Amino acid sequence: MRRIIPFFLVMLMLSGCGAAASSSGKSGYRQITAKQAAELMETETDYIILDVRTQEEYEDRHIPDAVCIPNETIGSAEIPELPNKDQLILVYCRSGNRSKQAAEKLVSLGYTNVVEFGGINSWPGETVSGAS
Round to whole Å and give the CA distance between 71 and 97: 10
User: Side-chain half-sphere of 45: how many Cα atoms within 13 Å?
Assistant: 0
Active site residues: 93
The model carries a pTM of 0.79
> Tens digits of per-residue pLDDT, 60-77?
999 999 999 999 999 999
Sign of the C-alpha dihedral, residues 37, 85, 45, 54?
Answer: negative
With a cut of 70, say whether residue 113 has pLDDT above it.
yes
The whole-angstrom separation of Cα 72 and Cα 6 is 49
Higher pLDDT, 7 or 79: 79
| Distance, CA of 18 to CA of 50 (rounded, Å) | 32
